[in-house]
Chains A and B, each alone.
Chain A
Amino acid sequence: MEFSLDQIAKLAKLSRLAMDESELKSMQSDLQKVVSYIDMLAQVDVSGIKPMAHAMLVDTPMRADEKTVVAGQKALSQSSAYAEGFISVPKIIE
C-alpha cells in the first residue's frame, strides 16, 4: 500500500486535522512505514474465525428507568464559549 499525498490530505480532512505541506509529507512517510508493517496480517489464515470486539462477553446491562441527576450547568460551563446556559459555536447556516 503506497500512500499518495492526496490520500494523506484526505485522511487528515476526514480526521479534522489541519496540516501544512511538510506535516503531510512527514505523516505520509510515517503512515507508510506503519501500514507496511501491519500488512503482515494479510498472511494469517482467518477462515472461519469470528471477529472479537471485546475481551469479555457483555450483554448491555440495564438499569431502572429512574431519573438521575447529571452535572448539567457544571458540565456545560467548562466550555470556553459558555453563556447563559448555552454553548455557542460559529454559525453553520448561512
Chain B
Amino acid sequence: MTTKDLTNKSLAHLAADLAKKEISSLELTNAFLERISAQDQKIGAFLQVDAEGAKKSAQSSDDRRAQAALLGPLDGIPLALKDLISTVGIETTAASKILSAYVPPFDATVTAKLKAEGAVLIGKCNLDEFAMGSSTENSAFKQCHNPWDLSRTPGGSSGGSAAAVAARFCLGALGTDTGGSIRLPASFCGITGLKPTYGRVSRYGVVAYASSLDQVGPMSPDVASNALILQAIAGHDPKDSTSINAPVPDYQSYLEKGVRGLKIGIPKEYFADGIQADVRAATEKTIALLKAAGAEIKEISLPNTQYAIATYYIIATAEASSNLSRYDGVRYGPRLGEKDGLANMYLQTRGQLFGKEVKRRIMLGAYVLSAGYYDAYYIRAQKIRRLISDDFSNAFKEVDVIMGPVCPSTAFKLGEKIDDPLAMYLADIFTVGVNLAGLPALSVPGAFSQDKLPIGIQLIGRPLDEGTLYSAARVIEKEVNLDLQPKF
C-alpha cells in the first residue's frame, strides 16, 4: 500500500487493517512521517517531529500485537500533541522563545495516559504562544496555514493540532481550550474537536494559561475517533487538584444513540447580526436535520452572552499574569540581561523573549488585579461569570444540549486581524462562555461555505455529559457526510 492509501483512511479502517495484520504500526507510522516530511513545509503544523521515538513506539506496538498483548484501541495509532503539553525528553516550548530548548523532565498526565495505551506520539504541534490567540499567528517559531486555503489561518490557539489532523499528518491530536482554542481551529479546519467539562481531563504537566478555564481535549478527523481519544485521557488525577473524581462513561456507547427525544436549545443571542450568511445557513440546516432526526428544538436565551468576551478577557488575563510570572530565566529557558543584575535579568528575559500578545495579556491581567481596580474589574468579572454560568444552568432545566455556530465567520486570512487585538478577541464570542461555565462543548463540521471553507457547529452539554454531545455530533456527521480531505 502506498503512503497515500494509508494516510487517507479513517482510524477505524486502519485499526481494522492493523488487527488483520494487513499493515503494521511501523508501516503506518512511516507513512505519516513521510507525508509530514513531504507536505508540512506548506502547512507548518509541527514544531517538533519525533521520528525516532515514533518508530520505536510503533515497533513496540507491533511486538505487542504479535504477542496478542495490545494495550487498547489506540495501540499503534499515530497521534500528535499540542506543544503546550509536557513530553519527557522532548522539547516543549509553548511556541515561545522564553521556553526555547526547554526539555521537560516529566510527562504530562495526558501524555503518560496515551503512552500507556500504546499510542505512537509522532510530534508536537504549533500553537499561539502560551495558547494566547485565535489564529496561531502568535507562534514565535513558524506560521501555520489552513490546509483548506493556505492563505488563511487554521484558527487558534490549537491551530497546529487542527491542521495536522485535517492535513492527515496523524490520526488525532490533543489540543487545549481556554476560550475556544480547540473548537475554533476544529471549525476552521473541518475536524471534530471537544473541550471536555472542566476537570474531566488532568491539567498536570500542561503549561498553564488560565487555570480555572484551561482543559485538554481531543481533536480528530471524525466523531468516533474523538470518543476513543477522550476515553484514554479522561479521569481523575491526584496530581491535579482540580480534576473531577467521577467515573468515566463508555463514550463509544453513545455514538449510535441518535437524538430522538433530545431537547436542543438554540440561543437567540447566537443569531444576532454579524454572522456570515453561510455560517447562519449552515447552522439553520443543521437545526433542521436534527429536528428531522427526532430532536425537539427550542429557542432559549442566554441573556449575558454580550458580556462573555469582556468577562473572559479579564479573568483569563488576570490568571495568566500570575501563571506567567514563573518565566524569569531562573529555572528554565534562556536568560538575558544577567550581567546587569537580577531585576534586569527579569526585565530583559521577559521583555525580549515574550511575544507581543503575551505581553499585552500579562499587562492587562496586572491592570485588572491592581489596587484600586481589582473590585471594578476582577471581582465584577467574577460576579458576571456567575451570571453567565447561571444562564447555562437555567437553560439546561429546559434543554439537554445547546447548539449554535462555533464562530461568526469561516477562517480569516493570515494577517487580517493580527494588528487589531480586539477584532481577534471577538472571534471567540460563542466559545468563551462555555469555559467560564466549565461546560463540555464540541465542534463538528456542519457544512462548507461558498468558498469551500469548513463551518463548525457547536454543541454544548451539561457537566460531564460528553456522551450526549457525541450522540448528536454523530447524527450530524452521518447526515451531512462531508468530504473532509483538503487538497493543498
Contact = CB atoms under 8 A, between A and B. Distances in A.
Interface of A: 8, 11-19, 27, 30-31, 33-35, 37-38, 40-42, 44, 46, 49-56, 58, 60-61, 63, 71, 74-81, 87, 89-92
B376 A17 contact: no
Residue of A13, A38, A75 with highest tally of chain B CB at under 10 A: A38
Nearest to B436: A55
Nearest to B199: A56
A8 B370 CA distance: 13
Nearest to B314: A38
Given A14-B366, A18-B351, A30-B360, A52 B332 contact: no
Contacts of A12: 351, 363
A55 B367 contact: no
A69 to B, nearest CB: 11
Interface of chain A, main secondary structure? loop
Contacts of A19: 351, 359
The 4 closest A-B pairs by CB, nearest first: A55-B438, A18-B351, A51-B382, A52-B386
B128 interface: no
B198 A18 contact: no
Given A41-B384, A44-B307, A53-B382, A15 B362 contact: yes
A3 B307 CA distance: 23
Contacts of B352: 18
Contacts of A14: 366, 370
B105 A71 contact: yes
Contact of A50 (B346, B377, B383, B422): B383
- Interface majority SS (helix, strand, loop, mixed), chain B: helix
Contact of A79 (B244, B307, B330, B386): B330
B463 A89 contact: no
A41 B103 CA distance: 41
Given A41-B310, A46-B380, A17 B347 contact: yes
Contacts of A58: 241-242
A89 B328 CA distance: 11
Contacts of A38: 310, 313-314, 368, 377
B444 interface: no
Interface string B387-419: 101000000000000000000000000000000
Contacts of A8: 363
A8 B244 CA distance: 40
B299 interface: no
Contacts of A49: 383-384, 386-387
Contact of B421 (A34, A42, A53, A74): A34
